[in-house]
Chains A and B, each alone.
Chain A
Amino acid sequence: MTDDFDETLRRALRPVDPAGDFAARVCSRVEGGAPAAGASPSPSSSPAGRGGSVGQRALHSRWLPTALAACIVAGIGLIHMHEQALDAARARQAREQLLQALSIASDNINIVRGVVAREESPDS
């Protein structure tokens, strides 16, 4: 019974892989070039058909400036997001370093306090 239960628990708790290409997201952060978290978006759908008709060319010329402006805005947004992501990464790193620095200082102070406490103990 116990073995069955243990085995059932092991099956219930098998490792689970994260979604998408997790390794790629980590490597992007290691190289410093991607946002902090979040699964990668699904691949964009393939473009709709290609054609050379006059109507499509007119459509193309009408919407091209708008599309270009949108690309520029999106580009600026991406740069901003990239900088924000870098700032967030720097902030997290600074936090980790702060906690470690405080831990090291705390450890050494406690060593001294322990020694002093033992020296002051009447039994020492």
Chain B
Amino acid sequence: MRIRPIILTCALLALPTLAAAADPGRLQLPDFSALSKRATQSVDISLDPSLLHLASGVINSDSGGNGAEVDDLIKGVKGIYVRSYTFARAGEYSKSDVSAVQAQLLAPGWQPIVSTHDLKHGTDVDIYLRRHGDRTEGVAIIAAEPKQLTIVNIVGPIDLAKLAQLQGQFGVPKVGIAMSGQTKSASATAQAH
């Protein structure tokens, strides 16, 4: 009789591992509700395959070429997850808030492809790719500045160059969550895609 709870507990504990095995490019994002409460602006987006399919259908049904561009860009993408928090003051989040995510990116499979550090403004932007052979399994972006923290995880293959070109299109103004003061004295440690 006691075996059942043990089996159930083991199954529940194994679920994240199983999910990770199914989608190796997916990060396990921690609960950021504490950060969200302190933030003046929060973005919390979780698009799993079903929601991506739903969104893609809406874009496709619009006439014109831009919907097809987005649809083409996310073809093969299995999930998009964004957590972004803007604070009124510096120091509202700490490195430990991000360490759980960074630890996953140190695991085998994830490769840092570019890392920019602005010592003067305390701004870091790191982009990681997870690859299996020639296939991209995921992209992770961590952008940390004194008053803003942004984490983006794209599960599946995506063309970063085409993604970069999307900025400002679709009548979507460049999102107000933009880095400030990040352009000076930064040093790149690897080539961007």
Q: B151-193, CB under 8 A of A: which get 1 and which 0?
A: 0101000001001111100101011011100110011100110
Interface of A is mostly: helix
With A112-B127, A113-B164, A118-B183 already in contact, the answer to whether A97 and B55 are too (CB < 8 A) is yes
With A108-B141, A108-B179, A111-B179 already in contact, the answer to whether A98 and B172 are too (CB < 8 A) is no
With A104-B84, A114-B183 already in contact, the answer to whether A92 and B188 are too (CB < 8 A) is no
Q: Name the CB-closest residue of A to B166.
A: A106
Q: B54-82, CB under 8 A of A: which get 1 and which 0?
A: 11111100000000001001100000101
A9 within 8 A of partner (CB): no
Give bound CA distance, A118 to B192, whole Å.
12
How far is the CB of B144 from the nearest CB of chain A, in Å?
Answer: 11
CB-based contact A98/B114 at 8 Å? no
Interface residues of A in 97-124 (CB under 8 A from B): 97-116, 118-119
Interface size in chain B (residues, C-beta < 8 A): 48
Q: Name the CB-closest residue of A to B84.
A: A104
Interface of B is mostly: mixed
Give bound CA distance, A111 to B154, whole Å.
18
Which residues of chain A come closer than 8 Å to B98, judged between CB atoms?
none
Give bound CA distance, A90 to B50, whole Å.
11
Q: Name the CB-closest residue of A to B184.
A: A118
Q: Which residues of A contact B (CB under 8 A)?
A: 87, 90-92, 94-95, 97-116, 118-119
Q: Which residues of B contact A (CB under 8 A)?
A: 43, 45, 47, 51-52, 54-59, 70, 73-74, 80, 82, 84, 114, 116, 118, 125, 127, 139, 141, 143, 150, 152, 154, 160, 163-167, 170, 172, 174-175, 177-179, 182-183, 186-188, 191-192
Q: What are 12 A-B residue pairs whose CB atoms fall within 8 Å in the complex?
A: A95-B55, A95-B59, A98-B80, A102-B74, A102-B80, A106-B166, A107-B177, A107-B179, A108-B141, A113-B192, A116-B116, A116-B188
